[in-house]
Amino acid sequence: MVNFFEHQQQAKRNTGLLVVLFFLAFTLIIGFVAVVTAAVFGGIAVQQNGDYQFSWQPIAWVVLIVGGGILTAMLVKWLSLKPGGHVVAESLGGVRIEPNSTDPLERRILNVVEEMAIAANMPVPAVYLLPNEANINAFAAGYESKDAVIGLTRGAVETFSREQLQAVVAHEFSHILNGDMRLNIRLIAALAGILLIAHVGRMFLHSARFSTSRRRGNGNALPLIGLALFIIGYIGVFFGNIIKAAVSRQREYLADAAAVQFTRNPEALSGALQQIGAREYGSKIGHANADETAHLFFGQALSSWFTLMATHPPLDKRIKRIQPNWNGRYPKPKKAMVQSVAEQQASQPQPTALNRLAMLALPALLLERVRSPQQAPQFIRDMLVGKLLGEEQPQLETLNAAQQLALVELAIPALRVAKDSDRLGLLRDLEQLEHSNDLFHWCLYQLLARQLIESKRFKVKLDNAEAFAATVVALKRAEAQQPLNLVQLEQALNTCKSWSPKAKQPLVQKWVETVTSDQHISDTERKLVATLCACIEEPLPDEMLTNSASSNFA
Tens-place pLDDT, residues 499-537: 887 788 899 999 988 888 877 777 777 788 888 898 898
Q: Which residues of 330-339 are buried (b: 16+ CB within 10 A; e: fewer)?
A: beeeeebeee
Which tops the pLDDT comparison, 173 or 334? 173
Task: Give me the DSSP letters along 405-435.
Answer: HHHHHHHHHHHHHS-HHHHHHHHHHHGGGTT
Tens-place pLDDT, residues 221-236: 667 777 777 787 777 7
Q: Residue 1: what residue type?
A: M
Pick from 178, 176, 156: nearest CA to 168: 156
pLDDT of residue 3: 46
pLDDT of residue 349: 45
> Which one from 115, 144, 172, 537 is the annotated catalytic residue?
172
pLDDT of residue 342: 47
pLDDT of residue 113: 94
> What are the residue ranges of helices labelled H in 44-97?
56-81, 85-91
Percentage, residues of the chain above pLDDT 90: 32
Tens-place pLDDT, residues 353-400: 346 777 788 889 999 999 999 999 999 999 988 877 777 777 788 888
Q: Say whether 115 is catalytic.
A: no
- On average, the pLDDT of the chain sits at 81
Partnered with residue 150 across adjacent β-strands are 127, 140
φ/ψ of residue 12, rounded to 5: -65, -45
- The band of 238, judged by pLDDT with boundaries at 50, 70 and 90, is confident
Tens-place pLDDT, residues 458-467: 989 999 999 9
* CB distance 353 to 546 below 8 Å: yes
Helix (H, G, I), strand (E, B) or coil at 127: strand
Distance separating alpha carbons of residues 474 and 79, to the nearest angstrom: 37
